[in-house]
Amino acid sequence: MNQTFYNLDKDKQERIINAALLEFAENGYEKASTNRIVKCAGIGKGMLFYYFKNKKELYHYLVEFSLDTILSEFFDKIDMNETDFIERLRQIARIKFEFNKRYPNVLSFLANIFIKEESDISRDLKQRHEKVMQMGYSMLYENIDTTLFRSDVDPEKAFKLIRWSIEGYQNELINHFKQQNLVTTNMDPYWDEFYDYLEVLKTIYYTDRKE
């Protein structure tokens, strides 16, 4: 990659990166169009290939960028000292929401690689991708206090049911806000509703905290 790309102002860098992430996420490597990328980014096609030699180099850069960004802007912000599973998910949901506002296509781009098992990635990048995804999965369950759960509840099954409930609510919100500007939307009522649901989940799965 041409180092002059890093000399661009941050807004222009992010425009190019987000346009490329969106294109690859929606169409995969083979069907992705650099014409659509430059149109969305508002730059000339010659400039794109001045920064990146070809589509494959751009693609590999995006994989590395996405993995680095997830580690520094998502995983590093999770407080692993929180041992309450539902509270851990509460903070992860908030971090994920803020992450998606700034990097709206990173997670879908990486998910597309995983689901479609893209072949145009080096073995090293595939292995790194797998390690990062495993790290994210382990961060859900590491150092969790299972004694919080009711004695008649299997913690492993509860983990899945709670996670599915929260992910379902998140997906509902994502669809609701798909065409809206999240920057100008007051999210407080939605967070309040989300926290109410979390309290319901605690009532269902946890021991009576008043005891």
Q: What is the mean pLDDT of residues 136-140?
A: 86
Is pLDDT at 155 greater than 70 in this prediction? yes
pLDDT in tens, 29-40: 888 999 999 999
The pLDDT of residue 114: 66
Please tell me the least confidently modeled range out of 3-17, 36-50, 70-84, 115-129.
Answer: 115-129
Token pair, residue 189, equals 């009522």
Question: Cα separations (Å) of 37 from 20, 42, 87, 133, 203?
Answer: 5, 8, 39, 27, 48
In the chain, where are the structural domains located?
A: 146-211
When mean pLDDT is compared over 36-40, 90-94, 99-103, 192-196, the highest value belongs to: 36-40
The partner residues of 149 in beta bridges, in order of sequence, read 206
Token pair, residue 9, equals 């102002």
Instruction: Work out the pLDDT band at 93, boundaries 50, 70, 90.
Output: confident
Residue of 131, 38, 18 whose CA lies nearest to 26: 18
The partner residues of 206 in beta bridges, in order of sequence, read 149
Cα–Cα distance measured from residue 172 to residue 199, given in angstroms and rounded to the nearest whole number: 19
CB–CB of 9/17 below 8 Å? no
Q: Please count the other Cβ atoms lying within 10 Å of the Cβ belonging to residue 88.
A: 21
Cα–Cα distance measured from residue 41 to residue 35, given in angstroms and rounded to the nearest whole number: 10
